[in-house]
Amino acid sequence: MLKANHTIFLAPLLATVLAAFISGSVLAQSKGKIVCWKDKSGKTVGCGDKVPPEYQDFASRELDKRGVTRKTNESAEEEAKRKVKEKEAEKEKAELAKKQAEQKRLDSALVNTYNSEQEIDLRRDRDLSTVDGQITQLQVMHKNAASREAEIKGRVDATTKGGKPTTDHQKEDLARVEAEVRKHEHNVKEKQKEKEEIQKRYEAMKVRYRELKGGGAPAPAPAAPAAPAKKK
């Protein structure tokens, strides 16, 4: 019983010594570099002068005669993931450069178009006045459509109160004018939003104009994203 226990205890130790002996033998027999390859799980499964064909797609590392790792080779899966990240980083860098160029163009146009913040305000007021005129026209159209809607509904009510069914023509007229009323209501709301956007846009222009003219600290340009480091 004691002998069996000794055998069980010594088995892992013998396996470790054997692995070290094999590795040492490989290094001793090699005249140059040694390659140790891994399986799909990332576990080192062997060493030699070249990677076996069945392990070509997995990671490996190259050692010198002293057993010091000199180079690591990523697996095909790791390489594919790295290339995707590099491509995404390049795309982000190109998009950032495009945005910076566009911002530079806008800044140049801003300082060359206006001589003061008051001129920006005047241009804003003209744009707002134009939209106000369009809103007034839409409101008139909405009022007229609403009047026609009320008129048609009155005729429909009179017909039903007289005990007669609503005609197809009345239904079509009512549906048409109701749609027109909704369209004008929607257009008025959109123009109101446009006015808000004009206010915001010109306010942002004034802030940027002030920065470019030295009246405030210019916002720093966004930094380009760092490209992922390549493995050696």
Domain ranges of the chain: 33-72, 98-212
Q: What's the pLDDT at 66? A: 81
List the 60-63 sheet strands across, edge first: 44-48, 34-38, 60-63, 69-73
The pTM of this model reads 0.55
Judge whether residue 230 has pLDDT over 60.
no
19 or 73: whose pLDDT is higher? 73
Positive/negative CA dihedral, 182, 186, 189, 195: negative
Range in 56-70, 77-91, 123-137, 145-159 the model is least confident about: 56-70
The span from the CA of 15 to the CA of 12, in Å, is: 5
Judge whether residue 151 has pLDDT over 50.
yes
Q: What's the pLDDT at 4? A: 44
Mean pLDDT of the chain: 82
Find the mean pLDDT for residues 23-33.
52
Q: What's the pLDDT at 68? A: 86
Percent of the chain at pLDDT exceeding 70: 78
CB atoms within 10 A of CB 145: 20
Instruction: Name the 3-class secondary structure at 63.
Output: strand
Q: At what angle do helices 76-113 and 168-212 cross, to 10 degrees?
A: 80
Burial class (CB in 10 A: 0-12, 13-18, 19+), 89: middle
Q: Quickly state the pLDDT bin for 32 (edges 50, 70, 90).
A: low
Contact 120, 209 (CB under 8 A): yes
Q: What's the pLDDT at 49? A: 86
Judge whether residue 5 has pLDDT over 50.
no
Instruction: Name the 3-class secondary structure at 211.
Output: helix
Contact 92, 225 (CB under 8 A): yes
14-23, 93-102, 222-231 — which one is most confidently predicted on average? 93-102
Q: Quickly state the pLDDT bin for 178 (edges 50, 70, 90).
A: very high
Pairing, β 69-73 against β 60-63: antiparallel
206 or 225: whose pLDDT is higher? 206
Instruction: Name the 3-class secondary structure at 156.
Output: helix
Judge whether residue 219 has pLDDT over 90.
no
